[in-house]
Structure 1
């Protein structure tokens, strides 16, 4: 599923691409620039590139509460993405996230997931999503939120 989706939550990059959480796009437009590893979010956000605004956005696969933060590698050489969540609901929500890490040829290097990350009502939280396998040669060049959903109840509760 990861390889076939072309969605991205707003990402900053060291080259100045992407969307910050403070801009009018809220980092939720499908197809926004993807982060290059390692990155720091940009402030203020630069003008969008032509790839940031798709003609036919796919709704519902990425919650508008989710934006991309920093991406890099942890001490065990696994790629990670710090996904920022700003819960727009007044009640606690549970977020499920899927992040893809891609090489320069857009091939999947690793994927990572976070299930039922709890965020209090009207609160902000950063969730670190780590790739499932090490990338010791640091082939991953960009990271991308490919799925982000939220639910008002945690399954099994």
Structure 2
């Protein structure tokens, strides 16, 4: 059983709602979300920042897409430590979160994605962050690796860019 932090773009792509995602990308995202539901643990923040972001983009009914089904599973299991683990992160005005490092190399990292980094850094396992098509993760991959964060790219759209 492994731990994962899941950027919102992964279930959006699994729902086939991202124009830049190839059919292979959609399939990879859908398969990974199903795999997490069956045998892994998702890591979230205890203030529901990630869940609220999911709520803005996904349907809590679990329909009609794979990403929506994943979101329903998250809502159902968010208090079950066998499926979801929550960590405490502290929002700040300066850089988004106390847990987000004040590194020059990350100064321009997207503020809306900092919660995912803060969650990964706070969890004792330092789980990888899953990404589908958000180029920020690729642009900051080395800087994030330098602070102990691994990004798993589910789509070749980003890994094959020059």
Do they fold alike, i.e. is TM over 0.5? Answer: no
More RCO (CA 8 Å, sep 6+): 2
TM-score (normalizing by structure 1): 0.26
Choose between structure 1 and 2: higher helix proportion.
Answer: 2
TM-score (normalizing by structure 2): 0.25
